[in-house]
Amino acid sequence: MVTSVCQNCGSRRFRADRSMAGRLVCQVCGLAAGSRANRTTIRPSGRSRQQRWRWLVGLVIVVILIAVVMG
């Protein structure tokens, strides 16, 4: 089955991968044509939990520094 649009990212750019016996692979996301991505890899907000955690830690550090400088 040949798909013209990637089911994961919507791209139309495919390439035959020799290591997968010539199976078409999306050039954008790397998923084989006709496959679906795992639901756990799709993030609706675009940020992973680790990135959110780093943002929160950075924000707490900045607030503490401001409190020390002002006090």
Is the model's pTM score more than 0.75? no
Both structure tokens of 7: 């089911």
Q: How far apart are CA 35 and CA 50, in angstroms?
A: 27
Per-residue pLDDT of the chain (71 residues; tens, 9 = 90+): 455 788 888 888 888 888 878 888 888 888 888 777 665 555 555 556 677 888 899 999 999 999 999 98
